[in-house]
Every structure is written in C-alpha cells, then in structure tokens.
Amino acid sequence: MADTAPCRILVMASGFGSNFQALIDGIANGALPRSKIISLITNRKSAHATVRADNAGIPWEYFNLISNGFQQKGEKDEAAILAARAKYDAALADKILAAPVGQRPELIVLAGWMYVFSPAFLDPIDKAGIRIINLHPAMPDCSLLGQKETEKKRSNITGEFDGAGAIERAYAAFQAGTLKRTGIMAHYVIAEVDRGAPIIVQEIPWEGEDLEALQAKIHGHEHALIVNATAKVAKEIVDGRS
C-alpha cells in the first residue's frame, strides 16, 4: 500500500519569518497539500519566526554558531572561523539526523535563513536523501531552464546575481541600461551559493521603479513562489516513496 503520509518539512529561518508564515498558511488553506511542518530551527534568538512557530504549535530550536560554543565572539582568524563553521554545520546535520528515519524531515526549506552551509552540513543531509531548497531574488541562467529536473538537480548553475545584494545589483544593471527584468527563483541548495538547480522561476519586469519600490515588488511575489515550490517538491517526495 502506498505511503501517503504528509511530507515532513523542517523550516530554517533567521528573522521575521514571513516566508515561514506563508508556508504555515499554505498548509492551512490547501495551497501546500500533503505536507506537515514538523519543526523550525533558528540561528537568531530574537527571530520573530519563533513567535509564529509558537502560534502554530510547531516546535522550534535555537542553535547558534557562537552561543552554542563553536566560534568565539569577535573571532578574526579566517582559518579558525572556517573550522568553527565546519564543526557547527556537522553538529547541526547530526542533530537533524539523530531522529529515527521515519521522523526525520524529508525536506528542508530555508525561509530567510541567513547563513551559508558548507559541505559539512550538505553532504550528510544529501546522503540521507533529504532535499534542501531556498528562495533567491534573482534569475538563473535561462539557457538551462529547459533541462529535465533529473538532469539539472545537482547542477552548478550560474545565476545572474548570486549571493547577497541581488536586488541592488539588478537595479544597478537597470540604471546602466544592461537589463530590463529580474526575477526570483526557488532552487535546490548546493555548496555553491545560489547555484543549485531552479525549481520554479518567476520573471519580474522593471517598470521604472526606484530601488525601494523594486524591493517591495520582488518581495511581494516571494510568498506564493516559496509555497508553490515547496508544494512541487513535497509532491515529488510523497509520490516517490516506495
């Protein structure tokens, strides 16, 4: 008999948690079917996402690079920072994988998670068959969008504006006359920042807005995109169970 239990989702968020709330609401209103958020992890004690979790009855945990003793506050040595981050990443992966297989998340959604994972986290999570997805306010290399999902999932896909400041860089390109549209994408997470294969992409035209208005316009599309992308991947996971 097919296993039709909801897809178990772990959300990771660092801030206000509006995308997290969109996922909670999506499950409640049916936009995100066959899914259950089993927990939230945050790396910032003051994250409002924890209030949203409490209101929804979702258990959460605070796990921080410095507060949990992996890195000294104010550390400047690059080698020490890299070593500390690798230990933190490995410990976080161990924490997630400590649960019995039937209780572990099947999907991790980064919903405003302000931290870049290293292979010390990504490799054991991938080995356990857990998918990780993220939202990024920029377009991927559009020439690769026609590939089949199975062909591109592990691809290192160059985006138009990888990393931080994507909206600001797109706006600078608008001002320079080299670009007339930007967009947002949900993508799989790999070690190369914002270069995992896209799941859903939405193009957003520039219509002469200033930077603040452009930011608001882009953010206004994010909630629907993260819900739709999570629903797409969750369906694949549930349908793919043996």
* 92 burial type by CB count under 10 A (0-12 exposed, 13-18 middle, 19+ buried): buried
**By the 8 A CB rule, do 97 and 104 touch?**
yes
- Cα-Cα-Cα-Cα dihedral of 212, 215, 220, 225, to 10°? 180
Could you list the beta-strand ranges (E) of the chain.
7-12, 35-42, 60-62, 107-110, 131-136, 181-188, 198-205
Q: Give the burial class of 28: count Cβ atoms within 10 A of its Cβ; 0-12 exposed, 13-18 middle, 19 or more buried.
A: exposed
Question: Could you give the CA distance from residue 169 to residue 160 in angstroms, rounded to a whole number?
Answer: 9
CB 118 within 8 A of CB 90: no
Catalytic residues: 136
- How far apart are alpha carbons 202 and 40 in whole angstroms? 27
Rounded Cα distance between 201 and 225, Å, is 8
Q: CA-to-CA distance for 13 and 122, rounded, in angstroms?
A: 17
Neighbours of 96 (CB within 10 A): 20
Among positive and negative, which fits the CA dihedral 11, 17, 22, 25? Answer: positive
